[in-house]
Amino acid sequence: MHVDMDYFYAACEELRHPELRGRPFVVGIYKEGDKLRGVVQTSSYAARKFGIKSAMPTAMAFKIYPELGYVAPDDPYYEEMSRRVMALLRERGFPIEAMSIDEAAVDLGAMGYDEARKLAVSVKNEVKKRLGLPCSIGVGTGKAFAKMACDAAKPDGILVVRREELASFMDGKKVGSLPGVGKKTEERLRAMKIDTIAGLGRADPMALIDQFGSLGKELYMLAHGVDDSKVVEHAETLSIGRERTLPRDATRVDETIDVLKSLTDEVMKEVHSRGFLFRNIGVKAKYADFTERIRSTTTNNYTDSSDLVYSTAIRLLRGLMTGPRVRKVGVRVSRFVAEKGQKKLFSAHT
Ligand code: DCP
Ligand code: MG
Ligand code: MG
Strands 25-27 and 69-71, sheet pairing:
parallel
21-34 per-position pLDDT tens digit? 999 999 987 776 66
pLDDT band at 348 (very low <50, low <70, confident <90, very high): very low
Taking each helix axis as running N to C, give the angle between helix 205-212 and helix 183-191, from 0 to 180 degrees, rounded to the nearest 10.
130
Query: Would the pLDDT of 345 be above 70?
Result: no
Nearest to 278 by CA among 288, 292, 268: 268
Query: Would the pLDDT of 45 be above 90?
Result: yes
Q: Distance of CA 91 to CAs 28, 155, 266, 267, Å?
A: 32, 24, 18, 17
Ligand 2 centroid to 145 CA: how many Å?
A: 16
pLDDT value of residue 341: 42
pLDDT value of residue 236: 46
Strands (E), the chain: 2-5, 25-27, 30-32, 35-37, 42-43, 69-71, 96-100, 103-106, 135-139, 158-160, 239-250, 276-287, 292-303, 326-338
Atom of ligand 1 nearest to the CA of 100: 15
pLDDT value of residue 349: 30
Lowest pLDDT segment from 157-161, 171-175, 335-339 = 335-339
Query: Would the pLDDT of 52 be above 80?
Result: yes
Is 103 a known active-site residue?
Answer: yes
Query: Would the pLDDT of 336 be above 80?
Result: no
- Test site for ligand 1: of 3, 8, 124, 136, most ligand atoms within 8 A of the Cβ: 8
Q: Are 137 and 95 in contact (CB under 8 A)?
A: no
Query: Would the pLDDT of 265 be above 80?
Result: yes
Average pLDDT for 137-147: 98
Taking each helix axis as running N to C, give the angle between helix 75-90 and helix 8-16, from 0 to 180 degrees, rounded to the nearest 10.
100
Q: What angle do CA 50, 53, 54 make, to 5 degrees?
A: 170
Tell me the residues surrounding ligand 3 (ion) with CB < 5 Å.
4, 102-103
Catalytic residue among 13, 14, 97, 103: 103
80-133 per-position pLDDT tens digit? 999 899 999 998 989 999 888 899 999 999 999 999 999 999 999 999 999 999
Query: Would the pLDDT of 201 be above 90?
Result: yes
In whole numbers, what is the pLDDT of the chain averaged over residues? 91
227-252 per-position pLDDT tens digit? 999 998 766 456 899 999 999 999 99
Lowest pLDDT segment from 194-198, 220-224, 345-349 = 345-349
